[in-house]
Structure 1
Amino acid sequence: MMWRALSADWLKIRGKGLWFLVFLGPIGLLAMQGLNFGLRYDYLTQQYRADLWGGLLSNVADFVPVALYLGGTLICSMMANVEHQMSSWKQLLALPISRTSVFMAKLLLCLLLLTVSCLLLAAGTVGLGVILGFQSQPIPYAKVLQIGFASYAAALPVISLQLWFSLSSRNQTFPVSVGITLSLLSIFSLFLSEWVPLSWPALAWSAPRPWLFSGAGLLLGLLILLPGSIHFARKDVD
């Protein structure tokens, strides 16, 4: 049943601007770093001459948590708004599909869209490094994948929370405001304790044992999904 709901959701997002958002995040981030290295090429290549790829990845990584939180917030909100604007919740939930399946289908679609963004970021980062002439050094493919996907796993608690808020609220002002606030706060995440989940996407790149924070994000994200799905299953819809 969940796959039927997922295929229906996949059709609903066509022409809703979600794919534009999926591409905008990684392209915008890479364009910013392209401009950064383009304007300061001699200085930065001299600074990172021992590890050009590491220098590029560290500059990209600084903005990945913000992009993940903001992108996750907007994707969850826009996806939920498709149902809210069409007032189609009653028709959807009247179908012979459990509410839990509907909730999980929305979650899977959100995660798939963010996965595409992370893949674009990884591929675009390699492309940017080649354009900048860094191919004289070996491309660290594992690090390139880590920059997006390790932080993505660590950001799942906030993404799960945003999905819960977005699906539960007809007015998207509150969930979007929360997401934007968390995105801005994540800029200062390195000053926060490692026990604060908001800092985990940054630590999933920079910490000595980054896998701990990716694993913690996956676990807490799953724990948040449980009350979220229960609340959605029991909530009255308009």
Structure 2
Amino acid sequence: MMGRVLSSDWLKIRGKGLWFLVFLGPIGLLAMQGLNFGIRYDYLTEQYKADLWGGLLANLADFVPVALCLGGTLICSMLANVEHEMNSWKQLLALPVSRTMVFLSKLLLCLLLVAVSCLLLSAGTVVLGMILGFPLEELPYADVLRIGFGSYAGALPVITLQLWLSLSSRNQTLPVSLGITLSIGSMFAMFMSEFFPLSWPSLAWSAPNPLTFIGAGLMAGILVLVPGAIHFARKDVA
């Protein structure tokens, strides 16, 4: 049943600009660092000569939490607007499918789209490093994957919360405004307590024990998912 609901949601997003957004985030980050290293190539390669790949990843990592929070917010809002703009909630919820299943399908599709964006970021980082002439034999494969998916795990509570708010409200002003605020706030993660979820996407990369914050993001995402699904199941969203 989940497969059929997810397949239906997948068809609905065609031509809605979501895929453009999925590609825009990683391409924008990589283009920015390509320009950064291109303009200051001699200076940066000298500064990071002991670990060229590490220097590139460190420069990218500063902007990944912002991109994840903002990108996740916009994807959630656009995904919810597919139903809001078509006024199709009554028809959708009249089908022999539980509201919880509908919520989970929307969440899974949102997470898949963000995961594709993270995969593009990791793959694009390798391509950018090769273009810059970094030695491929020194490529830190685990770190390249972690810069996309580690921070992604840390951002799961924010993304899940954004989908909950976006699905529950026809007016997207509040969810989008909150998402922009959280995105800006994530830029100051270094000044936040490690117990504050907004710092987890950054700490999932920079902390000595990143797995702690990756795990915390996964667990907190589930904790937000449960009340979100219950609220959606009981709320009249039609």
Q: TM-score, normalised by structure 2?
A: 0.99
Correspondence for 1:7: 7
Q: Following the alignment from structure 1 to structure 2, what is the Cα–Cα distance between the partners of residues 113 and 17?
A: 12
> 5 Å matches for 1:29-178?
29-135=29-135, 138-178=138-178
Unaligned runs of 5+ in 1: none
Correspondence for 2:213: 213
Correspondence for 2:182: 182
Q: Following the alignment from structure 1 to structure 2, what is the Cα–Cα distance between the partners of residues 41 and 137?
A: 20
Q: Percent identity?
A: 77
Residues 18-65 of structure 1, C-alpha deviations (whole Å, 9 max, x = no match): 000000000000000000000100000000000000000000000000
Divergent runs of 4+, >2 A: none
Q: Following the alignment from structure 2 to structure 1, what is the Cα–Cα distance between the partners of residues 149 and 6?
A: 22
Q: Report how far residue 237 of structure 1 moved.
A: 2.1
The amino acid that maps onto 1:33 is Q
Correspondence for 2:237: 237
Q: In 2 relative to 1, CA 95–136 (structure 1 residues): closer, same or farther, beyond 3 Å? A: closer
CA contact (8 A) 1:52 1:137 kept: no
Q: In 2 relative to 1, CA 96–29 (structure 1 residues): closer, same or farther, beyond 3 Å? A: same
Unaligned runs of 5+ in 2: none
Q: Following the alignment from structure 2 to structure 1, what is the Cα–Cα distance between the partners of residues 3 and 125?
A: 33
Q: Following the alignment from structure 1 to structure 2, what is the Cα–Cα distance between the partners of residues 135 and 126?
A: 11
CA contact (8 A) 2:169 2:237 kept: no
CA contact (8 A) 1:69 1:183 kept: yes
Q: Following the alignment from structure 1 to structure 2, what is the Cα–Cα distance between the partners of residues 126 and 144?
A: 8
Q: Following the alignment from structure 1 to structure 2, what is the Cα–Cα distance between the partners of residues 136 and 4?
A: 42
Residues 172-200 of structure 1, C-alpha deviations (whole Å, 9 max, x = no match): 00000000000011111111010100000
The amino acid that maps onto 2:206 is S
Root mean square deviation of aligned Cα: 0.7
The amino acid that maps onto 1:16 is K
Q: How many equivalent pairs are there?
A: 238
SS at match of 2:138: coil
SS at match of 2:27: helix
Q: Report how far residue 136 of structure 1 moved.
A: 5.8
